Copies of this chain bind each other. A is one copy, B any other.
Amino acid sequence: MSTAPDLLFRTLADPTRRAIFERLCREGEQTVGALTAQSGVSQPAVSKHLGALKQAGLVRDRHEGRQTHYSAQPGALNPLVDWTSQMAGFWQNRLDALDDLLKRMDQ
């Protein structure tokens, strides 16, 4: 089940891809052309990144005539949030255990 964060981390690791996702989060739905215009890479590169983002469930696409609109998919980041809080939780648990141990030694 820990396979969910894996795809998310891999997908968001690339800077230009993450920049595209960030822009969709900030400004909402965008066409491929609009995203390409300020991405610094070619249109096919953007299309590939969008494909990767879509496969990771981070974006949705909507076809309208000859253009495709992409939008960030809310909730797709949830496994990431879960993972981080889980890691923080483990750390907290060990702190608590240490605390207990010290208390027992103190008596």
- A residues sitting closer than 8 Å to B (CB atoms) are 5-6, 9-10, 12-13, 15, 18, 21-22, 25-26, 28, 72, 74, 77, 80-81, 84, 87-88, 90-91, 94
Taken together as a complex, chains A and B put the C-alpha atoms of A10 and B94 apart, in Å, by 27
Q: Which residues of B contact A28 (CB under 8 A)?
A: 94
Contact A88-B77, Cβ < 8 Å, known A6-B15, A13-B10: yes
- The count of identical subunits is 2
Taken together as a complex, chains A and B put the C-alpha atoms of A92 and B105 apart, in Å, by 49
Closest to A26 in B: B90
**Is A87 a contact partner of B22 (Cβ separation < 8 A)?**
yes
Least Cβ–Cβ distance between A62 and chain B, in angstroms = 16
